[in-house]
A and B are shown apart, each in its own frame.
Chain A
Amino acid sequence: MGILCLGLNHQTAPVEIREIFAVSESRLGEHSGRLCEVEGVEESVVLSTCNRTEYYAAAVDCGVASDHLREFLQSQAGSRLRVEHLYEKQQLEAARHLCRVVSGIDSMVLGETEIFGQVKKAYQAALEKGATARSLNQLFQKAFGVGKKVRTNTSIQQGQTSVGSVAVDLAEKIFGHLRDSKVMVIGAGEISRMTAKSLLSRGARSIFVTNRSYERAKELANELNGESVRFDQWHEVLQEVDVVISSTGAPHAVMKREHVEAVRRKRRYRPLFAIDIAVPRDIEVEVGDIEEVYLYDIDALKEIAMEGKGQRADQIKLCERIIDQELIESGLFGS
């Protein structure tokens, strides 16, 4: 029996195509069952996340199964689905691909752990529906084992590679869970928007947005589900927040030492994480001299991100080696 993987992900297809094939968690089993009805397909598992939808199949003749699967997918998306949106992998390549997916090295956020659970749920749903048998059971069990080994023996999830993710990592190092943390964005620029979004996605409780143009502040506050603050009143919010992200186009410092000194007592000397991503800088360097303030400017964040990239490249190589070694040792899937 051969193994086949046909799929589309964030690298091959835009979101408007991916959403056509998106399957909710509760219907994964049903879709896997339906796929088994496609001619040539003996077993199947459908995996669907926000970044990918993949169809794993076991077939006597992978070529025949692939043709019918493509027809099946074409019938769902019509002319919008183009050949380059789909990738196809067979046998060892398919097994290697699943191991990469489970290990998080094929993810948009490299090394993310959520994907492991998502694949497990997809497989469990197919198993319960009776859509899998020996071939796919072996494949998925092997992939889970390899995924665990990769995460245990490498530090693939460590070290961030973008300014936003570095900032989020640092915020978590200072505050732990961000669910009790409040954030203030000074200046409604793109990087601060992305950074604020990253903080929110990791649980930050509330967000204040201030900008010279109050309309722009309101717009971003709405987008982030936060609260807008007039630019001449931002320092009044300072006593409440734990994280400040500043990225105005001002030619001089916006946040000065005296602003922080004025609210230290009211803040009860709680830690304050100040992220200055503006050039020229928005936050006076002396703010970083205050005991409980951790000040990071764009250069510091970029330097950390660069270190993260270097570490990641080495870790990816190590992950690939583990995956290859495990698959070869298994003697399965044509290895």
Chain B
Amino acid sequence: MAQWLLVVATVLVVFGGVWGATSFRPGGRNIGTLSCMILAFICQMGVLGIRGELRGKCPLGDYGEILAFLAWALVLFYLVVGPAYRLSLLGLFTAPVVAVFQVVAVLPGVMDRDPVAVVEVDPWGEAHAAFSVLSYGAFALAAIAALMFLVLNKKLKDQQLGSSLFRKLPPARSLLDSIVRLTSIGAGILTIGIISAFLMERDSALGSHLIAAIATWLAYLAVVFMYFWRGITPRRLSSSVIVVFILSLLVFAFV
């Protein structure tokens, strides 16, 4: 059931992205894309609810669940940031990333079909996992906004202004504000995740997983600190946000 709901959510997200690409209005809310994203979000909630019931805890027990949770967090932040700040095309850029996460999650073997329910739950462990993945939703959306900025920046620098993509992209300053806002929010949420990790029951003092989480946290804090303390060029800010996100995703995939 959970896998099927995830498939429905993926179809909705892809449909919303295609809709966004074909019926675009600059500065306006794309109701079609937004509606698809809301419906996908509801399906994702269903997936996480079912998996949570099966596990008897926060559904972050395997890669499939982590990816589904990450996709949910990404859509959550999109729903908060995109329509409120009228960031045109954010839905269009977000949809493929969410779809990729969810497609990988439904691949055979990625999501446990019969997860074992836990007997005892460590609330700090749950908080650590949930807040950490939630922060990744914000970081993922920041990376998407950063990618959009880099595309816009390249077009402005090269004076290639005739394309439809250029006209549809939101203003550079709006994208930069969103990158900073999302990175700061993500870093704040990850801070709670890291604190929870220190309070949870652990096998060793500082496992490789926790070291990776702290490294990611420090990397994002460095980006935010650089921005607020001495400033950073928009291109470097965007590149850093993308590179740190990809690196941290890779680290977590292999740690």
Residue of B nearest to A270 (CB): B231
A116 adjacent to chain B (CB < 8 Å): no
B208 adjacent to chain A (CB < 8 Å): no
Query: B170 to chain A: which residues have CB within 8 Å?
Result: 176
Q: Find out whether the CB atom of A291 lies under 8 angstroms from the CB atom of B167.
A: no
Query: B152 to chain A: which residues have CB within 8 Å?
Result: 173
Q: Find out whether the CB atom of A291 lies under 8 angstroms from the CB atom of B172.
A: no
- Expressed in whole angstroms, the Cα–Cα distance for A173 and B159 within the complex equals 12
Query: A291 to chain B: which residues have CB within 8 Å?
Result: 233-236
B171 adjacent to chain A (CB < 8 Å): yes
Q: Find out whether the CB atom of B233 lies under 8 angstroms from the CB atom of A269.
A: yes
B: contact size bracket: 20 to 34
Of A22-30, A127-135, A292-300, the stretch lying at the interface with chain B is A292-300
Query: A226 to chain B: which residues have CB within 8 Å?
Result: none
- Expressed in whole angstroms, the Cα–Cα distance for A172 and B172 within the complex equals 9
A265 adjacent to chain B (CB < 8 Å): yes
B162 adjacent to chain A (CB < 8 Å): yes
Q: Find out whether the CB atom of B156 lies under 8 angstroms from the CB atom of A173.
A: yes
- Expressed in whole angstroms, the Cα–Cα distance for A292 and B234 within the complex equals 7
Q: Find out whether the CB atom of B171 lies under 8 angstroms from the CB atom of A294.
A: no
Q: Find out whether the CB atom of B236 lies under 8 angstroms from the CB atom of A173.
A: no
Query: B167 to chain A: which residues have CB within 8 Å?
Result: 158
Q: Find out whether the CB atom of B172 lies under 8 angstroms from the CB atom of A174.
A: yes
- Expressed in whole angstroms, the Cα–Cα distance for A288 and B159 within the complex equals 11
Query: B157 to chain A: which residues have CB within 8 Å?
Result: 288, 294
Query: A294 to chain B: which residues have CB within 8 Å?
Result: 156-157
List chain B positions with a Cβ less than 8 A from chain A.
Answer: 152, 156-157, 159, 161-162, 166-167, 169-174, 176, 230-236
13 contacts between A and B (CB under 8 A): A170-B156, A173-B152, A173-B156, A174-B171, A175-B173, A268-B231, A269-B231, A291-B233, A292-B234, A292-B235, A294-B157, A304-B159, A307-B162
The 10 closest A-B pairs by CB, nearest first: A268-B231, A176-B171, A291-B233, A269-B233, A269-B231, A174-B172, A175-B173, A176-B174, A176-B173, A294-B156
